[in-house]
């Protein structure tokens, strides 16, 4: 409205001057203004008529590092050309979605594809498609919203851990044991002639047809150990910023360990001491994988509960034969003694330390002016980190350390 105010004032001045002086030139300017203004108004009003538009999002969820593809389609079903159309999607995605200015002739259609990289985990909105048009002079404009907004969930990046191992237990899972079992497991290792008592669903029909006698499948007992992950997201222990922070590194570790365990047909449980303590009971399968990824996409390092308190309330859920995976950037040592009691209960333990002093030093180096000397290492934090590792070694707890700018596949090795 403020942009049009000078034009409205100028039109009023011309009208008053023309009728007060009667000069033909002013009437010529008045008629010309009415013609231009009326034409601009008609062009703007017709700019969105007979227009069909839409967009389609390729997926409503993905992982960091993937691409979101958005397909746009615009069709002019009328006989009046559309001289200028501005098309864009408001969104909270990092980097946004690029808009486009196009023109459409009568009965013409245009489609294009936009690829948006998913660079940050979280829940993001893609709002309805906004279409705007106007006249060449900028006097009038018209806009419309098309479609409905959608929510895109971006899960953490999953890094493969080819050398990650958890202790095995005599439970049904994915690693073969030389011991045969009467149970039907996912791992069929051999076939043998039918014997009395064999179930009909164990018959291998192709081998039976080839040998001319009934052959049944023989299964191996598999060895796995279920896992319970404790993800420490206490606010005061975090260091670094952005993707190279202890928060994002810990969440990536949790996502990678979950993915590896689910692929091995292990049951996985998760406890997160964020602002709201979240607990997912242990389960296996793709549905559990999705639940954990959705939780990891939404959490943030805003917890106020120390790791020791989270372990006191959560270790009771870990049953015999499972492995507790502790992921933390804490430099305190009060929680180490709690883990020392797990071996008596028949529970394995793996500690993944996210090196907070290393991430703080890395962040300082990234923001260092060119030519400036490197910052000094925080000796107090480094000393506390060494004391923590010594305490873990005293209880003979298996420990791995995550460092900035290092792939997890190289750091998380059995």
Mean pLDDT, rounded, of the chain: 84
pLDDT the model gives residue 182: 47
Domain containing residue 66: CATH number: 2.60.40.10
pLDDT over threshold 80, residue 275:
yes
Q: Is 7 exposed, middle or buried (0-12, 13-18, 19+ CB in 10 A)?
A: middle
Number of domains observed in the structure of the chain: 3
Provide the H-helix boundaries in 185-240.
205-211
If DSSP states are collapsed to H, E and C, what string results for 83-95? EEEEEECCECCCC
pLDDT digits (tens, 9 = 90+) for 98-119: 999 998 989 999 999 999 999 9
Q: Which residues contact 232 (CB under 8 A, 6 or more apart)?
A: 250, 273, 303, 307, 310, 326, 327, 328, 329, 330
pLDDT the model gives residue 36: 75
Output the six-digit token pair for 343: 């071996």
What sign results for the dihedral spanned by CA atoms 310, 313, 319, 320? Answer: positive
Confidence of residue 167 (pLDDT cuts 50, 70, 90): low
pLDDT the model gives residue 179: 42
Residue 79 within a domain: yes
pLDDT over threshold 70, residue 346:
yes
283 in the same domain as 210: no
251 in the same domain as 144: no
pLDDT digits (tens, 9 = 90+) for 87-100: 999 999 998 999 99
pLDDT the model gives residue 376: 63
371 in the same domain as 235: yes
Confidence of residue 8 (pLDDT cuts 50, 70, 90): low
Long-range contacts of 160-165 (CB under 8 A, 24+ apart): 160/256, 160/259, 160/260, 160/409, 161/256, 161/257, 161/260, 161/408, 161/409, 161/412, 162/409, 163/409, 163/412, 163/413, 163/414, 164/256, 164/257, 164/260, 164/412, 164/413, 164/414, 165/414
366 in the same domain as 329: yes
Half-sphere CA count of 309, side-chain side, radius 13 A:
9
Confidence of residue 33 (pLDDT cuts 50, 70, 90): confident
H-helix or E-strand containing 35?
Answer: helix 24-46
398 in the same domain as 281: yes
Residue 298 within a domain: yes
Residue 395 within a domain: yes
207 in the same domain as 251: no
282 in the same domain as 301: yes
pLDDT digits (tens, 9 = 90+) for 173-212: 444 444 444 445 555 567 888 887 777 778 888 888 888 8
Residue 248 within a domain: yes
246 in the same domain as 286: yes
pLDDT digits (tens, 9 = 90+) for 353-399: 999 999 998 888 887 776 666 666 678 888 898 999 999 999 889 99
> Which of 204, 223, 242 is at the close of a domain?
223
Residue 1 within a domain: no
Domain containing residue 281: CATH number: 3.40.50.410
pLDDT the model gives residue 402: 95
181 in the same domain as 72: no
215 in the same domain as 145: no
Provide the H-helix boundaries in 178-278.
205-211, 246-263
Rounded Cα distance between 130 and 307, Å, is 47
pLDDT the model gives residue 400: 94
pLDDT over threshold 90, residue 44:
no
Q: Please give the residue range of the domain that contains residue 387.
A: 227-411
Residue 398 within a domain: yes
337 in the same domain as 198: no
What percentage of residues in the chain have a pLDDT greater than 90?
A: 46
Q: Is 372 exposed, middle or buried (0-12, 13-18, 19+ CB in 10 A)?
A: exposed
206 in the same domain as 139: no
Rounded Cα distance between 18 and 25, Å, is 8
More confidently predicted of 304 and 203: 304
Confidence of residue 147 (pLDDT cuts 50, 70, 90): confident
pLDDT the model gives residue 151: 94
Residue 4 within a domain: no
> Which of 120, 155, 190 is at the close of a domain?
155
Residue 88 within a domain: yes
pLDDT over threshold 70, residue 5:
no
Residue 321 DSSP code:
T
385: helix, coil or strand?
Answer: helix
Rounded Cα distance between 149 and 60, Å, is 11
Query: What does 139-154 look like in DSSP terms, one character per residue?
Result: S-EEEEEES--EEEEE
pLDDT the model gives residue 173: 45
Pick from 255, 87, 55, 241: nearest CA to 152: 55
pLDDT over threshold 90, residue 404:
yes
pTM for this model (two decimals): 0.77
């Amino acid at each position: 409205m403020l942009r049009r105010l000078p034009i409205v004032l100028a039109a009023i001045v011309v009208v008053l001057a023309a009728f007060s002086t009667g000069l033909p030139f002013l009437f010529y300017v008045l008629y010309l203004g009415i013609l231009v203004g009326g034409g601009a108004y008609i062009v703007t009003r017709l700019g969105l008529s007979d227009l069909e538009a839409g967009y389609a999002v390729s997926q409503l969820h993905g992982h960091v590092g993937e691409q979101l593809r958005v397909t746009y389609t615009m069709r002019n079903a009328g006989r009046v050309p559309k001289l200028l159309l501005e098309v864009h999607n408001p969104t909270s995605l990092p980097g946004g979605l690029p808009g486009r200015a196009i023109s459409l002739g009568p009965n013409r259609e245009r489609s294009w594809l936009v690829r948006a990289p998913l660079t940050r985990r979280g829940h993001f909105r893609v709002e309805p498609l906004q279409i705007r048009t106007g006249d060449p002079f900028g006097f009038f404009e018209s806009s419309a919203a098309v479609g409905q907004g959608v929510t895109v969930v971006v899960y953490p990046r999953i890094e493969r851990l080819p050398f990650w191992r958890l202790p095995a237990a005599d439970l049904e899972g994915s690693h073969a044991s030389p011991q045969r079992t009467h149970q039907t497991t996912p791992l069929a290792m051999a076939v043998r002639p039918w014997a009395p008592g064999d179930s009909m669903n164990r018959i291998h029909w192709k081998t039976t047809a080839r040998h001319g006698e009934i052959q049944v499948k023989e299964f191996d007992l598999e060895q796995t150990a279920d896992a319970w992950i404790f993800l420490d997201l206490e606010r005061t222990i975090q260091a670094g910023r952005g993707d190279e922070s202890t928060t994002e590194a810990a969440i990536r570790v949790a996502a990678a360990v979950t993915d590896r365990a689910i692929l091995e047909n292990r049951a996985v449980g998760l406890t997160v001491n964020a602002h709201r303590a979240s607990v997912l009971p242990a389960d296996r399968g793709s549905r559990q994988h999705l639940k954990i990824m959705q939780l990891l996409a939404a959490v943030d390092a805003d917890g106020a509960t120390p790791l020791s308190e989270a372990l006191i309330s959560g270790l009771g859920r870990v049953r015999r034969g499972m492995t507790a995976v502790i992921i933390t950037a804490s430099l305190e040592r009060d929680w180490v003694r709690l883990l020392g009691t797990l071996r008596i209960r028949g529970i394995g333990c793996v500690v993944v330390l996210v090196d907070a002093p290393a991430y703080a030093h890395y962040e300082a180096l990234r923001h260092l002016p060119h030519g400036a000397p490197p910052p000094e290492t925080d000796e107090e934090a480094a000393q506390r980190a060494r004391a923590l590792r010594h305490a873990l070694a005293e209880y003979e707890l298996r420990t791995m350390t995550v460092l900035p700018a290092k792939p997890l596949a190289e750091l998380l090795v059995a």
